[in-house]
Amino acid sequence: MTRSDIASSLQLSKGRVSVITGQLMSQGIIEEYAYVPSSRRPSSLLRLHPKYASFIGISLHNREASAVVIDPNGTVLAKTFFERGDDYETSIRRMSEAVTTLKNECPEETNFAAVGVALPAYVSMDKQVCITSSVLGWDNRDVSTAISKEVGLPVFVENDTNALAVYESMFGGMRNIPAFVVIAVGDGIGVAYTIDGSVHHGEYGGAGELAHLPVARSLTEEAPRPCRCGNKGCLETVSSSQAIRARAKEVGLPPNIHLISTKAREGDPEALRILHTAANSLGYAAASLIQILDPRHIIIAIEDDLLHGVFTAALRQFIEQNLMPSFNRPERLQFTCYDTLVWAIGAAGLASRKHLFRSH
């Protein structure tokens, strides 16, 4: 942003903004890094100084967990991968060890300010406690305090899909988009809704639990299946990657997403049925979200093997067929496959926001 951009956004005089930015520059918090050509006087672009602070992000979204260090502008300075662990204590120990590993890989003068942790979980509003995670098998675990004790830094916890939305709004393609939705499909299904750059958490922190909404009986031919949340017939039991693999195995197909997608492209009736049922169920939920929330964009993040084939084609078609004409804008839907590190970068982005906008 230029000084003029800041003055316009905050409704301050250009003189006042110049004084404030001068103070921040003298403290090493921001810097001029480029110029905007102009017929008059060129304007300087401002950003947070890369050496002002560094933030660590950890993601347990996948069994192979990831951790990164970023500067305030999202540049990755170091990264590491580790197995997340089969129990709470092991996972806490390995996350703490990952922080130590990253610290050792960075220059000694690096100013580490905070840690963010992205979990496939329902997280407390104060970003300290994992209230429940059916994926990890954790309930009421104070993850923040446990890791902070080991690493000596403030730790903030977030739902992994919310962390993904933080990544998009801070460093990704949604930086200037006021309202967008992220749906992440993997072994589970997560949803995050962002308004004016902030993730909507709901009253108690549980907004976005689309995975555990019941699937309409008209969309599937079988009886509702038990879900790991304790209910039956949840969307996750039909449309998640884990559900697709399980159904494939039951009918004699290989429980491998790549091979299932290949079989569907070749016209295998069982593979087609499984993928169409999964896509239609997810499409019904996505179409409902669009008509309820009216976001500018809805990003659907899926495995690469599902991205280019029957599943995505059926999903797009079902969403578009079930929207009112006024809601049906092709540019609204975006399908993507995220790099593993993006979830950890989002967690680090959360840590940076908590540090920069903390109460004094």
For 190-245, the DSSP string reads EEEEEETTEE--TTTS-TT-GGGSBPPGGG-SSPPPB-TTS-BSBTHHHHSHHHHH
pLDDT reported for residue 38: 67
My answer on whether 115 and 20 are in the same domain is no
pLDDT at 274: 95
Measured distance CA(255)–CA(269) in Å, rounded: 16
Question: Quick one: 196 and 319 in the same domain?
Answer: yes
Span 25-72, pLDDT tens digits = 999 888 988 887 765 677 888 888 989 999 999 999 888 999 999 999
23 within some domain: yes
For the chain, what is the domain count? 3
Question: Could you tell me which residues come within 8 angstroms of residue 113 by beta carbon, excluding any fewer than 6 positions away?
Answer: 53, 54, 55, 153, 154, 351, 352, 355
Give me the pLDDT at residue 215, please: 84
Q: Longest C-alpha distance within the chain, in Å? A: 72
CATH (domain of 220): 3.30.420.40
Residue ranges in the chain modelled with pLDDT below 50 = 359-360
CA 213 centroid distance within chain: 20
- pLDDT, residue 360, reads 39
Model pTM? 0.88
Long-range contacts of 34-37 (CB under 8 A, 24+ apart): 36/2
Q: Which domain holds residue 237?
A: 178-295+303-336
For residues 80 and 225, membership in a common domain is answered with: no
The answer to whether residue 196 sits within a structural domain is yes
> Does residue 188 share a domain with residue 142?
no
